[in-house]
């Protein structure tokens, strides 16, 4: 029996950054133990894997012990592909409704953690290989609305900054932090009521219109770029499925009039041009492949048009988008699809066809730092990670450790549009 052989599994309920219950899994090899926990999203695509089986986290823990544990004991933890294949066979559904996508992800990730610890190498090298040397740029949420904030906040869910001029990850994070701090000063200067409140991901949550948020973020980006001496750009996650009315066929903005599909395209194009946006995520609802295609055709040479709810890290939905050139970037969230292997396959398919891959946290996170290793191992040029909050800083600090481990070999990805 090899040292990487799985000899035991344990599972328990823990809490995420919103205080909600989630699952944590421990995988034991003959030499050590790997541990991982699952995040949770507030804004979910309807095509995502089912988070937990009926009965919630408690039932997920029970099924790990009675269904998953007996099957995986004896597997080689370093054989990630076969472990993940076994998880899909144990579940037996197309959307992980039997054991839960979050359950599968926590087990899958804990297996990877156990293997890398047993082998004595960082997880990013265990999964990505010893030649991995590029770090992603952090995409940080500085102003929030939608499902991540309260009443009176913008309809647009996230105003995001990307420090494309930074040379090191540490410098890049400081760029995002500086924008976040500058934005607070600007909100106070403009007497915007928010009392220092922050949303789920640590972004400011002021009572402000969509356009007011654009103006404030643009000014914060300008001040931070000038102060630090390198270029910072910004973008948005519209999360438009959250205010799309299927019966009326309109986007029902609270801060503005309802917009039909054509008007929504015009509005997004206007924002891209006016604010020189580098990134726009989910500008249309989760079934509108054609809207993504049209916007990509009109603005894809200067802006990343990114699908999250549209693709949900699903290879089949991604292939559909690739076929018609819907978007030029994709969000990668492993718990949307269930396993590390499935997320890796979606990432490689996207990269093969020229899509920029954006590895992403969820709004409900734990202090698990493995996200950093997966983003590096998957060779993603951007990581959506937040700016403040202990659960976000845990990942940011892990990137710093990876950068230190890489030494002189470490470099930042190039971020461009195609």
Q: Which among 24, 201, 294, 365 is annotated as catalytic?
A: 201
Taking alpha carbons only, the member of 40, 72, 139 closest to residue 368 is: 40
List of residues 6+ apart from 404 with CB closer than 8 A: none
**Of residues 117, 333, 384, 395, which has the active-site annotation?**
333
CA distance 65 to 58: 11
What is the C-alpha to C-alpha distance for residues 327 and 311, in angstroms, rounded to an integer? 10
Residue 246 a catalytic site member: no
Judge whether 35 counts as a catalytic residue: no
Cα(234)–Cα(213) distance, integer angstroms: 12
Q: Which residues are CB-neighbours of 29 under 8 A, at least 6 positions away?
A: 3, 4, 5, 6, 7, 77, 114, 115, 117, 118
CA 208, 193, 385, 49 torsion: positive or negative? negative
Which ranges of 18-79 would DSSP assign to H, the alpha helix? 56-63, 69-72
Pair 297, 325: CB distance under 8 Å: yes
CA–CA distances in Å: residue 92 to residues 82, 85, 86, 88:
15, 10, 10, 6
Angle at CA of residue 79, ends 74 and 85, nearest 5°: 85
Pairwise CA distance, residues 267 & 283, whole Å: 10
Among all residues, which ones are annotated catalytic?
201, 333
């Amino acid at each position: 029996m090899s040292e990487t052989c799985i000899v035991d599994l344990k599972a328990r309920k823990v809490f995420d950054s919103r205080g909600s219950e989630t699952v944590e899994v421990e995988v034991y090899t003959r030499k050590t133990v790997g541990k991982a926990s699952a995040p949770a999203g507030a804004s979910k695509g309807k095509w995502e894997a089912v988070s937990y089986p009926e009965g919630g986290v408690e039932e997920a823990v029970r099924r790990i012990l009675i269904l998953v544990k007996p099957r995986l004991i004896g597997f080689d933890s370093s054989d990630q592909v076969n472990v993940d294949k076994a998880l899909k066979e144990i579940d037996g559904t197309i959307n992980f409704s039997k054991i839960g996508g979050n359950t599968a992800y926590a087990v899958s990730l804990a297996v990877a953690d156990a293997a890398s610890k047993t082998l004595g190498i960082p997880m990013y090298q265990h999964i990505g290989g010893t030649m991995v040397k590029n770090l992603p740029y952090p995409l940080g949420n500085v102003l929030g609305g939608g499902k991540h904030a309260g009443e009176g906040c913008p309809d647009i869910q996230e105003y995001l900054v990307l420090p494309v001029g930074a040379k090191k990850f540490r410098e890049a994070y400081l760029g995002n932090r500086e924008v976040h701090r500058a934005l607070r000063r600007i909100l106070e200067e403009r007497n915007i009521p928010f009392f220092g409140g922050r949303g789920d991901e640590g972004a400011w949550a002021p009572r402000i219109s969509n356009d007011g948020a654009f103006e404030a973020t643009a000014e914060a980006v300008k001040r931070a770029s000038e102060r630090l001496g390198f270029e910072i750009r910004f973008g948005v996650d519209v999360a438009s499925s959250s205010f799309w009315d299927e019966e009326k066929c309109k986007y029902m903005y609270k801060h503005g009039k309802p917009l039909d599909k054509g008007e929504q395209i015009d509005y997004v194009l206007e924002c891209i041009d006016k604010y020189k946006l580098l990134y726009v995520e989910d500008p249309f609802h989760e079934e509108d492949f054609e809207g993504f295609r049209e916007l990509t055709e009109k603005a894809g040479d200067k802006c990343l048009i990114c699908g999250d709810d549209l693709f949900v890290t699903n290879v089949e939905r991604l292939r559909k988008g690739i076929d018609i050139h819907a978007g030029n970037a994709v969000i990668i969230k492993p718990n949307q699809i269930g396993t590390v292997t499935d997320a890796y396959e979606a990432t490689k398919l996207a990269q093969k066809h020229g899509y920029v891959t954006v590895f992403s946290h969820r709004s409900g996170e734990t202090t698990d730092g493995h996200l950093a290793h997966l983003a590096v191992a998957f060779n993603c040029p951007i990581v959506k990670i937040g700016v403040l909050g202990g659960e976000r800083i845990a990942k940011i600090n892990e990137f710093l450790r990876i950068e230190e481990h890489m030494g002189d070999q470490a470099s930042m990805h190039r971020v461009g549009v195609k």
